[in-house]
Amino acid sequence: MRCCCAWPGANWDATRMMTTSLSSRVKELEPPPWLYARLAAGGRFRRLYARLAADLAPRLPLGGRLLDVGTGPGGLPAVLACRRPDLTIVGLDLAPAMLRQGRKLLPPSPPCAAVALVAGDVHALPFPAAAFQAACATFSLHHWEHPLQGLREMTRVLAPGGVACLYELNGDAYPGQVRAFARAEGLPALLVWAAVRILGRRHGLSRARFVSLLDRTAAAHRELAPFHHIFWRCSLTAPN
């Protein structure tokens, strides 16, 4: 069992008790679409989207079609479209109201890539097999009612050898990773730790949980690696 070190100058036991108590009381608060859109356009989220786009862009084939599952207000496609204008991007979300907000954020095409935002369910993607060369899902898998079905659907719509990348909060994040993230983002470490503990209980995925899901997919290759200290990046390659 991993030993978690106390924060310097902080009462670790009190902090752990506080976050456990809070997480047991936090309800699933779903912000309205306009608030999601405002957050997506904000500086901190824009930086996170830029970091995600920088990580994802080299993995995408030239001139390929990319599906972004759970796109919300289209924050990632809006950034990626200007970084990779050769792509054709489709953002999918279950909520039409979210997509209406997202269309207000999209950059002009050209010079940026063409982006289409469509309503749909990851459990039954409205696309034929092999319709995309790549797919991604950022912080949406934990919302899926049946994650394994969603992963199988993402694999189905990938062309042979296509890659899907999924990003999620690391439910196993330990103090050293949280400190590194806090330094990188210029945030108080104890505040980040409390947030990760609270959110991680509801929205985070442990390594064991992720591996269990990946092992039941039809992917030819699977990889799970840390991303930006407190997140996971999962890569799935469709069979040839």
pLDDT for position 198: 80
Q: Looking at the predicted structure, is the pLDDT value of residue 28 above 50?
A: no
Cβ of 147: how many Cβ atoms within 10 Å?
Answer: 20
Of 188 and 195, more confident? 188
Alpha-carbon distance 143 to 199, whole Å? 13
> Are 150 and 144 contacting, i.e. CB atoms less than 8 angstroms apart?
yes
Alpha-carbon distance 74 to 239, whole Å? 28
pLDDT for position 155: 96
pLDDT for position 165: 98
Band the pLDDT of 8: cuts 50, 70, 90. Answer: very low
Give residue for tokens 């289409």: 116
Per-residue pLDDT tens digits for 66-112: 999 999 989 999 999 999 999 999 999 999 998 998 898 899 999 99
Give residue for tokens 């996971």: 232
The number of C-alpha atoms within 13 Å of 219 and in the hemisphere containing its C-beta is: 26
Work out the mean pLDDT of the chain and round it to a whole number. Answer: 85
User: 64 vs 84, 131, 159, CA distance in Å?
Assistant: 10, 10, 10
- List Cβ neighbours of 87 (8 Å cut-off, separation of 6 or more): 60, 63, 64, 65, 66, 80, 81, 113
Q: What is the mean pLDDT of residues 217-237?
A: 94
Alpha-carbon distance 226 to 231, whole Å? 6
Alpha-carbon distance 235 to 232, whole Å? 10
Helix (H) or strand (E) holding 217: none
Band the pLDDT of 44: cuts 50, 70, 90. Answer: low
Q: Which domains does the chain have, with CATH numbers?
A: 28-170+206-237 (3.40.50.150)
- Tell which residue, 165, 177, 174, has the closest CA to residue 228: 177
Long-range contacts of 4-8 (CB under 8 A, 24+ apart): 4/174, 4/175, 5/175, 7/175, 7/189, 7/190, 7/193
> Are 136 and 71 contacting, i.e. CB atoms less than 8 angstroms apart?
no
Q: Indicate the pairing of strand 65-69 with strand 132-138.
A: parallel
pLDDT for position 106: 92
- Tell which residue, 87, 232, 127, 102, has the closest CA to residue 170: 232
Per-residue pLDDT tens digits for 194-212: 888 887 777 788 899 999 9
Q: What is the mean pLDDT of residues 134-163?
A: 96
Q: Looking at the predicted structure, is the pLDDT value of residue 152 above 90?
A: yes
Percent of all residues in the chain with a pLDDT value above 90, rounded to a whole number: 64
Band the pLDDT of 4: cuts 50, 70, 90. Answer: very low
The number of C-alpha atoms within 13 Å of 200 and in the hemisphere containing its C-beta is: 20
